[in-house]
Each structure stands twice: as structure tokens, then as C-alpha cells.
């Protein structure tokens, strides 16, 4: 028969602080006095589901335990014994934290089930209940009271104050170059500074700008050794001085003009951050935030898209493309898309394009003129130099050419005397400038979530990768085979 042990207590510390210790599967030799020494096998992260901690107890026993689940939203983890010199069989334990509503305290529930050899039930139940759980409660209380979690030894072995550094997995660009230059490393995420929010990231949006940065096309934004990534979604871990409106446990997303999002824990200015509606999952938020806000400003601020607007969208099955086409169509625009394959054409049609031009080599102007003899009133161009002449040919008189990006190569300077032939206007916008104030950010995200909820954006298309596979995600995006948005999951 399976034995069950259940214990709980209240710890006089905020949930984020208690969780920061407990979620680290290898922290127990720092705070639990029965544990002599512990290490994670195989160089894995100590918060990686599946990792195995290999530890010895002060009484000489030896145990290997595996992390089975870790949920930062529910503050819950589950683990089991893989093998042990103590006769606990089929041992599975769960740790759950909940914030105590009265005061900044934490309710900690610890329970397990296990089998024992006949006759040892009571002895082992008592050992787990008192020797492990109740002693653990007292030990962690002492550890926190002594600031053990706030101090790490420096190189001289002296304890030095550190406000809750948390381990993070980070992807860096080793050198400017191809997708193989993206490498994952272990690092520490320092405590949030004044005005910052530290986020345990679950999903990170991949954007084409990440590729420009990796290639070294915009050196002032990213140096070798730096981390790319402009947006992510996750859960607030803690906040810095002067931050109001966010508390640990809030589900949030952000976008910002300084790269660094390809990691598992990151501090960012609170001004970049928005709360997630309950219905929006982290992966959806990371897939939509930057690209959806881009679609919003393209239509409202630059394209003035309304019923009947003739809109030409390149890469119409891509991340920005599907959102823009679907949303513009919902607003009554007429939408023509270009894509490089028949498969993508089907996706673009399903997302609002009335006609799709399949052209891997940027030959679309005649087809646009065949469909709309007067040309396109608004062109959203993420292609760049290779589509330059064709875009001008496809553009209507008084049309607006929006140079959004340069997937095919940087657009050479545009001569005003060229534009004057069509009284054309040209813009070269950047999304971050359209969410530069809290009001603008709130306004645009509110519209984005509403559009998601009422179906204006269609079903989000998301290709998921692990954070460590960021290079695969980049290779896929560059290969022109991806559809919709790519997201890295931590």
C-alpha cells in the first residue's frame, strides 16, 4: 500500500523569494541541513524538467532524484526518487506555494506518496514528515532570515550581498555570421534595477531583425557576445525600486528596442511591459506582440487602411504578413499578397488575401497591375533591395510605399526625384517608436488583444523551438520555409 505524507506551513517571506530558492532543484544543500552535498548530473540546468540531482545526506545515504514538473505560474514542482540507499520506493513528491493574502507571506504545501518494505511504514513516514519536511520548513525559514538566499560567496570566499541573482539560460551571438553563431550559455540574471521588472520568460518571439543583428548588419544595436531578441512573455519574478502596477506572479509580455530577450530570466524596464489577459497564452503573446503592434501602426498610422484600400503585402504568409492581411481584410481593405510558394499562397488566402502572387524572385508588378490597373495604394515591403523596382512599378499614383524591412538585402537610398514621378510617399518606420509612451503601448496592445479575441487575426500560426534551438529557428526563418511566427520556449 502506498504511504502518504502531507505537511504545510507558512513562511514569513514573499512568494517570489521562497520560490526563487525552491524552484532551483539543486539549492537544497544550501538550506536543508540534512543534505551534505548536491549536484545536477550531466551539466543540465537546475530548473530543467528532467534534470537529476545527485546528493548525499549527512547520515551517509545517497539519493538521485529527478525533476518531473516545474510550473512558475502555479509555483509548483514535482519530483521523484530515481534510486536511493534509503528504502523509499516509488517516491513522488510535490511542492506547492501560494501567496498568503494576509501580509506578504507564503503558504508552503509539501506532500509525497511512496512504498516501503513491509514493517517500515511508520518509521519511513516519520522520517519523511519530520526529518525531511518539517526540518526543511525550519531550515528554509532560517536560511531566509539569515539572508542566505541574498548572499553568494565572492572569489575570496566572503559572503557578499546580492539581491537574489537567479540562474538564467542565455543565447549569445558568438560572432557575427550564420545561425550556427547562436550559442546557449548558463548565466546569472541580476536583481531588477530601479524601474525594472524581472521576468521568468516562457516564450520569446523571433523576429527578422534578430537575423539582421546576428549577421552584424546593425553593430550599434548588438555586439558579438550579446544576446538578441526584442520581445518575450512570462511571469513576473520580482520588481525593482519604484515599480508600481506589477507584482510577482503577474503574467506579462514586453517588447523593447534593446535586444536581450533570448534567455530564460531577464530584467526589463517596466515601461516596456504589459499584463497578459487570462485568455492569452505566453506563446501566443510572444508570437503576436511585436508583429501585431506592427500591423496596427502600419494600418492605422501609415497606411490609413479603410474599406476598399488597395494594400499589397509582401511575405504574406510570414509573421507580420498573416496578421496584417487578416486584420486589414477585416477592416474592409482589399489585400494582395506575394509569397514564394504555393503552400504559402494557401495560408495567405486563408488569412485574408483576395489574390496571392507566387514569386520567389520578386517579379510581381505585372500581376499587381493585372489585378488593379491603377496599382497598389499602400505597399508594405519587408523585402528590401531585390523588390525595389517592382515595388515602384506596382505603386499607384499618390501611393505610399512603406519600407518595413530588408529580408532580401538593404534598400539603397531612395531618390526623391524618383518618388515625385508618382507623387509617392515613402516611409521607413520602426515599431518601438509607435509604443514609446505607456499610453501608446496600452492602446495598441488593447487593440491587439481585442483583435485576437474577435477573430480579426485568424488563428495564430506558431512554430515552436526550444531556447537552445534558437539557431534552428533562425535557419528556418532565413530559409523562407517558415509560416506565421516563430517562438522560442524556455
Ligand X SMILES: NC(=O)c1ccc[n+]([C@@H]2O[C@H](COP(=O)([O-])OP(=O)(O)OC[C@H]3O[C@@H](n4cnc5c(N)ncnc54)[C@H](OP(=O)(O)O)[C@@H]3O)[C@@H](O)[C@H]2O)c1
3-state secondary structure at position 48: coil
258: number of Cβ within 10 Å: 14
Contact pick of 291, 329, 334, 351 for ligand X (by CB under 6 A): 291
Instruction: Check binding of 40 to ligand X (CB under 6 A).
Output: no
Complex with ligand X: residue 18 or 345, whichever CB lies closer: 345
414/417 Cα distance (integer angstroms): 9
Q: Which residues contact 114 (CB under 8 A, 6 or more apart)?
A: 2, 3, 81, 88, 89, 90, 91, 92, 124, 128
Residue 482 C-beta: closest distance to ligand X, Å: 6
87-95, 166-174, 255-263, 399-407 -> range binding ligand X (CB under 6 A): 399-407
| Residue span binding ligand X (CB under 6 A) among the ranges 13-21, 91-99, 207-215, 217-225 | 207-215
- Structural element, H or E, at residue 54: strand 52-57
Binding segment (CB under 6 A) for ligand X, from list 70-78, 253-261, 398-406, 452-460: 398-406
Nearest 5°: CA angle at 77, between 121 and 136? 55
Identify the residue among 116, 227, 309, 408 touching ligand X (CB under 6 A): 408
Specify the stretch interacting with ligand X by CB under 6 A; choose among 140-148, 190-198, 303-311, 429-437.
Answer: 429-437
Cell numbers 566572503 label which residue?
158
Q: Assess 267 for contact with ligand X (CB under 6 A).
A: no
Query: Does the footprint of ligand X cover residue 401 (CB under 6 A)?
Result: no
Annotate 425-442 with DSSP letters as a single string.
EEE---GGGGG-SHHHHH
Near ligand X by CB under 6 A: residue from 52, 209, 461, 470: 209
The residues with which 204 forms a beta bridge, in sequence order, are: 232, 488
Orientation angle between helical segments 470-478 and 208-215, nearest 10 degrees:
100
Between CA 409 and CA 91 the distance in angstroms is: 57
The span from the CA of 429 to the CA of 169, in Å, is 32
Least CB distance to ligand X at residue 321 (A)? 5
Supply the DSSP symbol for 205: E
Q: How many residues bind ligand X (CB under 6 A)?
A: 28
Q: Can residue 400 be called a binding residue for ligand X (CB under 6 A)?
A: no
Residue 404 interacting with ligand X (CB under 6 A): yes
Stretch that binds ligand X, among 235-243, 251-259, 264-272, 403-411 (CB under 6 A): 403-411
Enter the C-alpha cell of residue 52.
537529476
Residues within the interface to ligand X (CB under 6 A): 207-209, 291, 294, 315, 317-321, 339-340, 344, 382-383, 404-408, 429-431, 477-478, 480, 482
Amino acid at each position: 500500500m502506498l504511504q502518504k505524507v502531507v505537511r504545510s506551513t507558512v513562511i514569513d517571506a514573499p512568494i517570489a523569494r521562497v520560490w526563487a530558492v525552491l524552484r532551483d532543484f539543486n539549492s537544497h544543500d544550501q538550506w536543508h541541513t540534512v543534505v551534505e552535498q548536491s549536484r545536477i548530473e550531466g551539466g543540465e540546468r537546475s530548473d530543467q524538467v528532467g534534470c537529476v540531482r545527485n546528493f548525499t545526506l549527512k547520515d551517509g545515504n545517497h539519493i538521485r532524484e529527478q525533476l518531473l514538473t516545474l510550473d512558475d505560474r502555479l509555483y509548483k514542482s514535482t519530483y521523484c526518487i530515481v534510486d536511493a540507499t534509503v528504502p523509499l520506493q516509488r517516491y513522488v513528491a510535490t511542492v506547492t506555494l501560494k501567496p498568503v493574502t494576509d501580509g506578504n507571506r507564503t503558504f508552503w504545501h509539501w506532500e509525497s506518496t511512496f512504498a516501503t518494505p513491509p514493517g517500515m511504514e511508520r518509521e519511513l513516514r516519520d522520517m519523511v514528515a519530520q526529518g525531511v519536511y518539517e526540518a526543511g520548513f525550519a531550515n528554509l525559514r532560517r536560511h531566509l532570515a539569515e539572508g542566505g538566499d541574498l548572499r553568494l560567496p565572492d572569489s575570496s570566499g566572503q559572503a557578499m550581498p546580492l539581491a537574489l541573482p537567479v540562474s538564467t539560460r542565455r543565447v549569445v551571438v558568438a560572432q557575427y555570421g550564420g545561425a550556427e553563431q547562436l550559442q546557449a550559455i548558463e548565466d546569472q540574471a541580476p536583481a531588477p534595477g530601479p524601474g525594472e521588472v524581472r521576468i521568468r520568460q516562457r516564450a520569446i518571439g523571433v523576429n527578422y531583425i534578430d537575423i539582421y543583428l546576428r549577421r552584424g548588419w546593425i553593430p550599434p544595436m548588438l555586439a558579438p557576445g550579446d544576446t538578441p531578441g526584442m520581445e518575450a512573455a512570462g511571469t513576473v519574478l520580482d520588481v525593482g525600486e519604484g515599480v508600481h502596477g506589477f507584482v510577482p506572479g503577474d503574467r506579462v509580455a514586453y517588447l523593447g528596442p534593446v535586444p536581450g530577450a533570448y534567455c530564460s530570466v531577464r530584467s526589463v524596464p517596466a515601461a516596456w511591459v504589459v499584463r497578459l489577459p487570462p485568455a492569452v497564452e505566453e506563446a501566443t503573446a510572444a508570437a503576436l506582440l511585436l508583429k501585431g503592434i506592427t500591423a496596427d501602426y502600419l494600418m492605422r498610422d501609415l497606411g490609413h487602411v479603410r474599406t476598399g484600400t488597395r494594400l499589397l503585402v509582401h511575405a504574406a504568409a510570414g509573421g507580420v504578413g498573416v496578421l496584417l492581411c487578416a486584420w486589414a481584410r477585416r477592416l474592409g481593405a482589399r489585400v494582395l499578397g506575394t509569397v514564394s510558394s504555393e503552400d504559402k499562397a494557401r495560408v495567405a488566402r486563408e488569412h485574408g488575401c483576395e489574390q496571392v502572387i507566387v514569386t520567389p524572385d520578386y517579379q510581381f508588378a505585372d500581376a499587381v497591375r493585372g489585378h488593379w490597373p491603377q496599382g497598389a495604394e499602400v505597399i508594405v515591403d519587408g523585402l528590401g533591395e531585390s523588390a525595389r523596382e517592382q515595388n515602384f512599378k506596382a505603386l499607384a499614383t499618390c501611393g505610399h510605399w512603406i519600407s518595413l524591412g530588408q529580408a532580401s538585402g538593404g534598400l539603397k537610398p531612395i531618390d526623391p526625384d524618383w518618388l515625385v514621378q508618382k507623387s509617392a510617399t515613402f516611409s521607413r518606420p520602426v515599431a518601438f517608436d509607435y509604443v514609446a509612451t505607456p499610453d501608446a503601448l496600452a492602446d495598441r496592445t488593447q487593440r491587439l488583444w481585442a483583435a485576437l479575441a474577435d477573430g480579426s487575426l485568424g488563428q495564430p500560426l506558431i512554430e515552436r523551438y526550444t531556447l537552445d534551438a534558437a539557431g534552428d529557428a533562425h535557419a528556418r526563418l532565413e530559409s523562407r520555409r517558415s509560416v506565421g511566427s516563430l517562438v522560442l520556449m524556455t
